[in-house]
Structure 1
Amino acid sequence: MESYTPKQIANILNVSTTTLRRYEEQDLIPVVPRTKSNHRYYKSMHFQAFTAIRALLKGYDIPMVYEVMRMIKHGRFEEALWLVNEQQFHIQVEKQRVEEILGMIQNTDFTKYKNVKLNEWMSIGEAAKISGVNTSAIRHWEYEGLVHSERNKENGYRMFSIPELRKILVISSLRKTVYYIENMKKLLNDLDTQNYGNIKRSFQLALENLNNQLLLQLKGIAELMKYIHFFTGAVP
């Protein structure tokens, strides 16, 4: 059976040997054998485990990748694959959301969203529920000057208008692709002035990023299936 030194695998995957050691310490790979002189050496299974980790990390978050690798190490293959499948469902939902909100922006008669009739003014809880974000996120965006609320004269609670809800929806969809506050402020100003060209380009970029993430996820899954093959003998 082919064997590798830590340095050999580190060079192939373009990572440090410290990174490989960290994956081992995090319980992500099978037990590593030692030479008579107590040096680590890796087998083909370990090499594929490392390859799968590096590929998965390009398309998935670190906690999810680590959990999947631990599940596989302990023989919980179906659970691991269902978790991966759940993440792919999330990216599909995110794509649909971006497409829906892009359509919403270009609709001048914005009185409904997802078949929910919008009130002229909404509480922060209502705005959060409609937009699918936490109230803490909306408060943070207001603190950054991205959205604005009025205070209910009777109870002092925040109230958001329909135009501000549109901004919340835009921010929630583009926050992963528009990283700088000033850039987001400019886009929201374009929304106020109905300059939809820049906004449309930003949404198209968001869709391109989601398409790229999907491709990276599928490549990660391909390497993951090769790794599972070492345990099950099934055709990857």
Structure 2
Amino acid sequence: MNMIYTPKQIAMKLNVSTTTLRRYEDQELIPDVPRTDSNRRCYTSIHVQAFVAIRALLRGYEIPVVYDVMRRIKNQDIENALWIINQQQHDTQLEKHRVEEVLLMLRNADFSKYRNLDVTDSMTIGEVAQMAGVKPSAIRHWEQEGLITSERNKDNGYRVFTIMELRKIILISSLRKTVYFIDNMKQLLNDMETQHYKQVERSFQFALQKLNSQLMKQFLGITELMKYADFYKEDAD
């Protein structure tokens, strides 16, 4: 016999509010919920596991990804849901490789090339954006925040960036997900400019630790997601 749970019971189990559970239901992240004659919700085991999966996934993935995956599972589009999760883990691995690559770049005294592109003291915003793998608009925003500076080409008035500013841009693009506050980022950039590389390396090591932690949380989320998907496989059998 399938157990019936009240919203309060599940909320206490997951340490969330009943409002949060209703929000997940309103967003269509869980199976349709049957009601009693008095219109009370009757959550069953599949709903409990759906809530558990959502909470676990949110620790390792961004909200839009989790919501997309849960809606697909509900619609029994399980394979595509898992491919989305697979892509996210691939992106995490790419980010880890990027952090490691930039750490090596910072340690490299010879910085005449980066990703097979020539590095000079008169690079355009398009060139530094290509090297850093970001949009020019991001660079303009960081300049407005006072994180980087540029000079102006006397002939055409366009922005010109030096090697040091390129290093800063690459560092910002690599650590922006782990260094949240502008003041902290400014201090980190100052450490790099004044060649206090031990402080900079600590920030990169912290970034790698965070990515390792995120990977663990992603796998824990996948474990709960597969338990949830098993309910649909049992119905299909």
Give the TM-score taking structure 2 as reference length: 0.96
| 2:179 matches 1:178 | yes
Distance across 2 between alignment mates of 1:71 and 1:173 = 31
**Displacement of 1:160 after TM fit?**
0.8
Q: Which amino acid is the alignment partner of residue 43 of structure 1? A: T
| 2:149 matches 1:148 | yes
Gaps of 5+ in 1: none
Cα distance per residue 1:148-170 (max 9 Å; x no partner) = 10111111111111111000011
CA root-mean-square deviation: 1.1
Q: 1:105: which partner in 2?
A: 106
Cα distance per residue 1:20-53 (max 9 Å; x no partner) = 1111110111110011221001000000000000
Q: 2:42: which partner in 1?
A: 41
Q: Which amino acid is the alignment partner of residue 59 of structure 1? A: G
**Displacement of 1:125 after TM fit?**
1.4
| Structure 1 stretches of at least 4 aligned residues deviating more than 4 Å after TM superposition | none
**Displacement of 1:80 after TM fit?**
0.3
Q: Give SS of 1:126's match.
A: helix
Distance across 2 between alignment mates of 1:181 and 1:62 = 24
Q: Give SS of 1:145's match.
A: coil
Distance across 2 between alignment mates of 1:109 and 1:148 = 22
Cα distance per residue 1:135-189 (max 9 Å; x no partner) = 1111111111111101111111111111110000111111111122222112111
What are the residue-to-residue correspondences of 1:77-96 with 2, within 5 Å? 77-96=78-97
Distance across 1 between alignment mates of 2:215 and 2:87 = 13
Distance across 2 between alignment mates of 1:214 and 1:121 = 39
Q: 2:14: which partner in 1?
A: 13
Q: Which amino acid is the alignment partner of residue 190 of structure 2? A: N
**Higher mean C-alpha deviation, range 221-230 or range 34-43:** 34-43
Distance across 2 between alignment mates of 1:58 and 1:40 = 27
| 2:221 matches 1:210 | no
Distance across 2 between alignment mates of 1:96 and 1:115 = 17
**Higher mean C-alpha deviation, range 119-128 or range 210-219:** 119-128
Gaps of 5+ in 2: none
Q: Which amino acid is the alignment partner of residue 12 of structure 2? A: N
Give the TM-score taking structure 1 as reference length: 0.96
Q: 2:123: which partner in 1?
A: 122
Q: Give SS of 1:120's match.
A: coil
Q: 1:50: which partner in 2?
A: 51
Distance across 1 between alignment mates of 2:182 and 2:73 = 40
Q: Which amino acid is the alignment partner of residue 34 of structure 1? A: R
Q: Give SS of 1:35's match.
A: coil
How many residues are aligned here?
Answer: 234
**Displacement of 1:233 after TM fit?**
2.8
